[in-house]
A and B are shown apart, each in its own frame.
Chain A
Amino acid sequence: MELLKAFVLGGLICLIGQLVMDLTPFNFSSADILVTYVTIGAILSAFGLYQPLIDWGGAGATVPLSGFGHSLAQGAIEGVKTRGLLGALGGGLAATSTGVAVAIVFGLVFATFTQPKG
Chain B
Amino acid sequence: MAFLVGGSICVIGQIINNLFLQGGLSIKDAAAATSSFLIFLGAFFTGLGYYDELGKVAGAGSIVPITGFANSIVSSALEFKSDGYISGVGARIFNIAGPILVYGTLVSILVGLVYYFAR
The chain A residues found within 8 Å of chain B, CB to CB, are 2-3, 6-18, 20-22, 30-31, 33-35, 37-39, 42-43, 45-46, 57-60, 62-69, 72-73, 75-77, 79-80, 84-85, 87-89, 91-93, 96, 98-100, 102-104, 106-117
Contact of B6 among A15, A42, A96, A108 (CB under 8 A): A15
**8 A Cβ contacts from B77-119 to A:** 77-79, 81, 85, 89, 93, 96-97, 99-101, 103-105, 107-109, 111-116, 119
- Choose one: A10, A66, A69, A91; the contact of B112 (CB below 8 Å): A91
| Residues from chain A with Cβ under 8 Å of B77 in the complex | 107-108, 110-111
Assembly CA distance A33 to B11 (angstroms): 22
Asked if B99 and A104 sit within 8 Å, CB to CB, the answer is: no
Instruction: Give every chain B residue within 8 A of A8 (Cβ-Cβ).
Output: 7
The complex places the Cα of A17 from the Cα of B104 at a distance, in Å, of: 18
16 contacts between A and B (CB under 8 A): A3-B14, A10-B7, A11-B6, A17-B63, A18-B60, A31-B97, A35-B104, A37-B64, A46-B115, A62-B31, A68-B100, A89-B109, A99-B36, A103-B69, A103-B73, A111-B78
Interface centre among B10, B63, B99, B114 (most CB of A within 10 A): B10
Contact in complex: A87, B112 (CB < 8 Å): yes
The answer to whether A89 and B112 touch across the interface, beta carbons within 8 angstroms, is yes
Question: If the complex has contacts A58-B14, A111-B81, are A38 and B107 also in contact, measured as CB distance less than 8 A?
Answer: yes
Residues in chain B within 8 A of chain A (CB atoms): 1-11, 13-15, 17, 31-32, 34-36, 38-40, 43-44, 46-49, 59-61, 63-66, 68-70, 72-79, 81, 85, 89, 93, 96-97, 99-101, 103-105, 107-109, 111-116, 119
Which of B31, B89, B112 is the most central at the interface, judged by chain A CB atoms within 10 Å of its CB? B112
Contact A9/B10 with A38-B100, A72-B108 known, Cβ cut-off 8 Å: yes
Q: Is the interface of B mostly helix, strand, loop or mixed?
A: helix
Q: Which residues of B contact A73 (CB under 8 A)?
A: 107-108, 111
Bound complex: CA of A13 vs CA of B2, how far in Å? 9
CA distance A65 to B60 in the complex (A): 11
